[in-house]
Structure 1
Amino acid sequence: MVYLPWNDMAEGGAAGVAATIAIDAEADFTALEWQVIHLARQDALASLHARGRWAWLYRLFNGERSTPELASDRLEILRQVAVEAWYRGYALHPARIAAFLSSGFTDNHLERLLATISAVRGSPKARSFA
């Protein structure tokens, strides 16, 4: 049976072992990329698909909806992976992972993105002041 010594956990603080994990400096996102990741939390899964044939009818009755698609292909792939990770956690579609890796990101980027989102995922989106 494997166990962790209590004194090592106490030195790590409330996070315990998480403080001892080395973070790869290469896998760090820029400030703009972090902003895209956090903004993707408000996007719906439907934003990952192209508009359907009935979109014109929806726009006729409800007005024009803004599209969350980004101009940069690299940032758009990051947004798509982040949206899917906010909703599905680690269960990403393999084609989306392949597109993420082919756009210049590494496996370490993907691991850091998924770990960050899964750590925040359970927290509420807005604070209640009631």
Structure 2
Amino acid sequence: MAFIDFSDAAHTALPAVHSNPAPSMPSESLLSRLERRVVELAREDGLQSLIPQRPRRWLARLILGPTPPSRMLANEQLEALRQLAVRAWHHGYTLPVSAIREAEAAGHSEAKVGAVIDFIGRSRAPVRRLAA
């Protein structure tokens, strides 16, 4: 029985995002520079940043200090894009359908949502798996 490893072929077929900062694919041209920056900044955010932060009560402020600043953005459309990007950075192409619907409900087109997911898919480091 033969085993063919196609993992290297997939990454050579897709253009590298880091080598050319200008949009190289038509799907990336759907995203403005600000939106691409929001997607890149969402890489460091964890899934905990999707949960709305509650203000601390007086005893918690006394013990733990003031409430830390929120990761949420003031612009609702950019916040919906950030939430989609955070989920895409953590789940890859296996996003929940609810995440895509929330982004579309916030006013993003299906093409823009696909462009964000493709941008993240090309930017993620390849996962190396050992054949067992």
TM normalised by structure 1 equals 0.66
Contact 1:59 1:65 (C-alpha < 8 Å) held by counterparts: no
Structure 1: unaligned runs, 5 residues or longer: 1-13, 124-130
Judged with a 3 Å threshold, the aligned counterparts in structure 2 of structure 1 residues 16 and 81 are, in CA distance, closer, same or farther, namely closer
Match of 1:47 in 2: 49
Q: Deviations over 1:31-56 (max 9, x none)?
A: 11111101101111101012368x55
After superposition, the C-alpha distances for 1:101-125 in whole angstroms (9 at most, x for unaligned) are 12222221122111111111117xx
Cα 1:33/1:22, change in 2 over 3 Å = closer
CA deviation after TM superposition for structure 1 residue 78, in Å: 0.1
Query: Percent identity, aligned pairs only?
Result: 26
Which of the pair is proportionally richer in helix?
1
Given that residues 40 and 79 in structure 1 are in contact (C-alpha distance below 8 angstroms), is that contact kept between their aligned partners in structure 2? yes
Q: Distance in 1 between matches of 2:39 and 2:103?
A: 13
The 1:44/1:60 distance shift into structure 2, 3 A limit, reads farther
**8 A contact 2:93–2:117 mirrored in 1:** yes
